[in-house]
């Protein structure tokens, strides 16, 4: 299934995309796409519905982030060896984690806003893992049982804040609009192998990143298990798993985002995003 949320900012309603690409409203069936709805039983209940009887949502309706009430967004750094190399870093012996503030999360096609004083706003196409039930001290063998599904993510980053302003990476990752998610959450059963998904990102039509989740250093099972050793993962939490090479920071002459640019990204089976870049007011 492809679950989503549609409507104006702050007033999104739950929905899904049917097999013909029509968005259907789920607000008469579930309160939102989050919490217990993401459990195996909750997803099975939605899957049992006669989709053709659900109201169609008008074309052109805005899509919000496909998960409601995200408690935490955990990001994995340097999880592709070739990206680590272009960043002048080495792959860490264990997953390198940092947090992205949930206030950065937005819809897949909402504008990316360059913060005041920012000079090095960058892009990162990433696979996001969505947790479906509480996970604590989970083994790698059982890790997939705790995954509700997957989502396309753009880990937008202001490198000058991340690298030159002291402290951890979080300040360069958490600016408003720096966490586009969606267009939809694709449930676990609809993704045959999350470690074999093509991924691509373009700026103004020029392909910048063209990779695959196959080259991740730490895979989905490892990350879910690993993180659950340090903190309880709750339904709706998102793990953004790192990016392949091709970011602006890694270029010989970096070409960071500027107002007027258009960023487009996709992951095989998880849909596409298209965001215009604007300056903060």
Q: Is residue 27 part of a domain?
A: no
**pLDDT bracket for residue 166 (50, 70, 90):** confident
Q: Identify the pLDDT of residue 197.
A: 98
Contact 112, 263 (CB under 8 A): yes
Contact 83, 77 (CB under 8 A): no
Task: Please report, for the domain that includes residue 217, its CATH number.
Answer: 3.90.850.10
Q: Which helix (H) or strand (E) holds 40?
A: helix 40-47
Residue range of the domain that includes 143: 65-279
Q: Is residue 14 part of a domain?
A: no
Q: Is residue 5 part of a domain?
A: no
- pLDDT > 90: percent of the chain: 90
Average pLDDT of the segment spanning 190-218: 97
Report long-range pairs for 91-97 (Cβ below 8 Å, ≥24 apart). 91/217, 94/226, 95/218, 95/222, 95/223, 95/226, 95/227, 97/227
Q: Identify the pLDDT of residue 13.
A: 98
Domain total for the chain?
A: 1
Q: Is residue 239 part of a domain?
A: yes
**pLDDT bracket for residue 84 (50, 70, 90):** confident
Average pLDDT of the segment spanning 235-264: 96
Q: Is residue 9 part of a domain?
A: no
Q: Is residue 31 part of a domain?
A: no
Tally of CB atoms within 10 A around 217: 17
Tally of CB atoms within 10 A around 71: 15
Q: Identify the pLDDT of residue 241.
A: 98
Q: State the Cα–Cα distance between residues 113 and 179, nearest whole angstrom.
A: 11
Q: Is residue 32 part of a domain?
A: no
Contact 180, 271 (CB under 8 A): no
Q: Is residue 121 part of a domain?
A: yes
**pLDDT bracket for residue 169 (50, 70, 90):** confident
């Amino acid at each position: 299934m492809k679950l989503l949320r549609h409507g104006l900012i702050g007033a999104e309603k739950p929905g899904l995309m049917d097999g013909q690409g029509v968005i259907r409203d789920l607000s008469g069936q579930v309160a939102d796409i989050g919490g217990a709805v993401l459990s195996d039983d909750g997803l099975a209940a939605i899957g049992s519905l006669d989709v053709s009887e659900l109201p169609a949502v008008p074309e052109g309706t805005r899509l919000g982030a496909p998960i409601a009430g995200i408690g935490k967004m955990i990001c994995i750094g340097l999880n592709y060896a070739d990206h680590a190399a272009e960043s002048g870093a080495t792959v860490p012996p264990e997953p390198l984690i940092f947090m992205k503030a949930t206030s950065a999360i937005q819809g897949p096609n909402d504008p990316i806003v360059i913060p005041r004083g920012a000079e090095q706003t960058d892009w990162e196409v990433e696979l996001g893992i969505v947790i479906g039930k509480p996970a604590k001290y989970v083994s790698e063998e059982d890790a997939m049982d705790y995954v509700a599904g997957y989502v396309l993510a753009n880990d937008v980053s202001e490198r000058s804040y991340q690298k030159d302003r002291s402290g951890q990476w979080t300040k360069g990752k958490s600016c408003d609009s720096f966490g586009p998610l969606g267009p939809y959450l694709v449930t676990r059963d609809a993704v045959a192998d999350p470690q074999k998904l093509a991924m691509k990102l373009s700026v103004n039509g020029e392909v910048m990143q063209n990779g695959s989740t196959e080259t991740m250093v730490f895979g989905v099972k490892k990350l879910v298990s690993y993180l659950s050793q340090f903190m309880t993962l709750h339904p709706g939490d998102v793990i953004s798993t790192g990016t392949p090479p091709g970011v602006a920071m890694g270029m010989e002459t970096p070409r960071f985002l500027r107002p007027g640019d258009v960023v487009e990204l996709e992951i095989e089976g998880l849909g596409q995003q298209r965001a215009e870049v604007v300056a903060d007011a």
